[in-house]
Copies of this chain bind each other. A is one copy, B any other.
Amino acid sequence: MHPQSIQKLIDLFSKFPTVGPRIATRFVFYLIKMPGNKFEELMNSLKKLKQMIKLCPSCFNPFDPSANSGQALQSTSEQKGTLCPICQNNSRDKNILCIVEKETDLEAIEKTKLYKGIYFILGGTINLKKEKGIRIKELKEKITRENFKEIIIAINPTLEGESTSLFLQRELKPFGIKITKLGRGLPIGGELEYADEETLSSALEGRR
């Protein structure tokens, strides 16, 4: 029913996270009505994103290598110049590794201002025993190459996340490094009455 150039874009937007056809349609009508200069601004920002943003080769966090050129005095070391700000930061504890599923999880942990180690973005979870797409080879290489004293598996305690955590625990066990997981318990605002038994058991065991 829609002209092809509209339908094509609806299809592409429908693949964006959390977006379905109805919202995708509203995006397209929003773009059609967008003034020309605003549309150019969006197109330029999109182009810049692909040009400027690189994945950190060590933790796979996206960052802008040009932005930190000033502060990275240690640019004599070629290697270091390509790392993200967290991996470059000398005050971070390079002996603790926190494995997260995705970028926004890394951000959530950074916001606590409590964690001082470094990260590794796994890039996904294991779904139905398929491990396609997650960076397990890169993770093992990083652990072999560096010198960790603790590896924190900070994957969501959802069904898929739990499979992924179990998989990581099995795969990383041979390294002989201390492996921990985020504590379970009642979140703020939670109620005992509505908590599942496993969460409540963890809250009891983890009492302090």
Q: Is the interface of A mostly helix, strand, loop or mixed?
A: helix
Chain B residues with CB under 8 Å of A195's CB are 108, 187
Interface residues of A in 102-134 (CB under 8 A from B): 102-105, 107-112, 114-115, 123
Interface residues of A in 5-46 (CB under 8 A from B): 5-6, 8-9, 12, 16-18, 22-23, 25-33, 36, 39, 41-43, 45-46
A52 interface residue, CB < 8 Å from B?
Answer: yes
A182 touches B157 (CB 8 A): no
A67 interface residue, CB < 8 Å from B?
Answer: yes
B158 touches A191 (CB 8 A): yes
**Shortest beta-carbon distance from A120 to chain B in Å:** 14
**Shortest beta-carbon distance from A135 to chain B in Å:** 11
What is the copy number of this chain in the assembly?
A: 4
A156 touches B192 (CB 8 A): yes
Tally chain A residues at the interface, Cβ within 8 Å. Answer: 88
Interface residues of A in 157-208 (CB under 8 A from B): 157-159, 180-193, 195-208
Chain B residue at minimum C-beta to C-beta distance from A189: B158
A114 touches B156 (CB 8 A): no
